[in-house]
Chains A and B, each alone.
Chain A
Amino acid sequence: SQELEQSPQSLIVQEGKNLTINCTSSKTLYGLYWYKQKYGEGLIFLMMLQKGGEEKSHEKITAKLDEKKQQSSLHITASQPSHAGIYLCGADNTGTASKLTFGTGTRLQVTL
């Protein structure tokens, strides 16, 4: 099984709707990183969470970290076509920030 599970694997939402993507680690989380990837392109860093209960927002995207559950959620409010892409979470399970383990990604489509 994957060390870092993302759900759902894919998502189609209508423009204006809210959505949530989850990322669960089977190992202790020392840091959780969210990235966005446009199809076939490189990854763009969104935000990083390190402390339990931490919540960060950037424009209409909010990420939270539940340290006890070893889980993070990414919430998009009032989705727009520009939000379409693949969202990946990356986990620091080492505690030394030496490397990240990535989830399989969530493919998001936003319809008009």
Chain B
Amino acid sequence: DADVTQTPRNRITKTGKRIMLECSQTKGHDRMYWYRQDPGLGLQLIYYSFDVKDINKGEISDGYSVSRQAQAKFSLSLESAIPNQTALYFCATSEGSGGATYNEQFFGPGTRLTVL
């Protein structure tokens, strides 16, 4: 079984709809991340969380919100989807505890979101 899972894997929705993307992990990691990937732009960080009570904005958080329901679950919401949010979304986790000097991140398979 995959260590980092994302649901759904593909989603097509319409402008203005509310969408939630879910991420679950069995690695026991404290840190979780949401990225979006657009052609030619690499990965851009949307939000990240170091534990259930610690949520931080990334480079492109506008139009998105997140919820860390448990150590293993981190969901990303688009309150009112717009076409330029069409992208490939990735969830990632890392072990990183206090004083960590490394940040190897483990990625989920991605969710392809299309907003019409």
A interface residues, Cβ below 8 angstroms from B = 2, 4, 6, 9, 30-31, 33, 35, 40-45, 48, 50, 88, 90, 92, 97-105
Contact = CB atoms under 8 A, between A and B. Distances in A.
B109 A48 contact: no
Interface in B35-73: 35, 40-45, 48, 50, 58
Contacts of A31: 101-103
Given A33-B104, A99-B33, A41 B109 contact: yes
B102 A98 contact: no
Given A33-B105, A40-B112, A42-B90, 4 more contacts: A43-B107, A97-B101, A100-B45, A100-B105
12 contacts: A31-B102, A33-B105, A40-B112, A45-B106, A50-B101, A88-B43, A90-B43, A97-B102, A97-B103, A99-B33, A100-B103, A102-B35
A56 B43 CA distance: 24
Contacts of B109: 41-42
Interface residues of B, number: 28
Contacts of B58: 99
Contacts of A90: 43, 105
A48 B102 contact: yes
Contacts of A105: 42
B82 interface: no
9 A-B pairs with least C-beta separation: A104-B42, A102-B43, A97-B103, A42-B107, A43-B107, A42-B109, A102-B42, A97-B100, A97-B101
